[in-house]
Chains A and B, each alone.
Chain A
Amino acid sequence: AQKITQTQPGMFVQEKEAVTLDCTYDTSDPSYGLFWYKQPSSGEMIFLIYQGSYDQQNATEGRYSLNFQKARKSANLVISASQLGDSAMYFCAMREGDSWGKFQFGAGTQVVVTP
């Protein structure tokens, strides 16, 4: 069964606008971590942001924030003030368990930022 679901295969956003990338997950483990990665056309996978299942506050890293809704099992990524360099594939991932958990990745969302 798919554990991470990203329902938006692709989206366009105008420069300087905010964009929300959807991610839902499925787990029965009370302890897990949620991650977002960016993969530009160059191919490298870049870690963006992390949210732990016990964290009380939503994670933020610069222009990236994670809208964590635990009851809905949702971990959406919000990119504020989009820049042309934000054009990339974005992957949501989950790691179950307190430690040593395997990572599960979603199918990704392709974001294109337009001038």
Chain B
Amino acid sequence: GAGVSQSPSNKVTEKGKDVELRCDPISGHTALYWYRQSLGQGLEFLIYFQGNSAPDKSGLPSDRFSAERTGGSVSTLTIQRTQQEDSAVYLCASSPRTGAQFFGPGTRLTVL
């Protein structure tokens, strides 16, 4: 498809387990962003990849969170030892060098 895709759409896991969330950006978009959104809240910035530069990890809430971007395309957000407060919708977006970012449908994570 032409848009940003994310998988899985929903993930239910048990506290303490690791999860991986995947993002496929729009082809040709060289910037990729991860955000977290709790119910009824705004967007919380997590991490940002821009071209070939080192990622901006300033929004990651703890060292349990990490992300990588392989080949300048697909990105994986990993949360280790999940906690109940990690429950949220995780949104991925991509953008060209300038202009708007476009969002994927999100992954709803529920930690039991």
Contact = CB atoms under 8 A, between A and B. Distances in A.
Asked if A pairs with B, the answer is yes
Given A91-B43, A102-B45, A106-B42, A44 B103 contact: yes
A64 to B, nearest CB: 13
Contact of A105 (B31, B42, B51, B53): B42
B54 to A, nearest CB: 12
A43 B106 contact: yes
| Chain A: number of interface residues, binned into ranges | 20 to 34
B100 interface: yes
A44 B106 contact: yes
Interface of A: 33, 35, 37, 43-47, 50, 91, 95, 98-100, 102-103, 105-108
A47 B106 contact: no
A98 to B, nearest CB: 7
Interface string B20-52: 000000000001010000000011010010110
A100 B53 contact: yes
A102 B42 contact: no
Contacts of A45: 91, 93, 103
Interface of B: 31, 33, 42-43, 45, 48, 50-51, 53, 56, 89, 91, 93, 95, 97-103, 105-106
B10 to A, nearest CB: 12
A91 B95 CA distance: 17
A100 to B, nearest CB: 4
List 5 tightest A-B contacts by C-beta distance, closest first: A45-B103, A100-B50, A99-B97, A105-B43, A47-B100
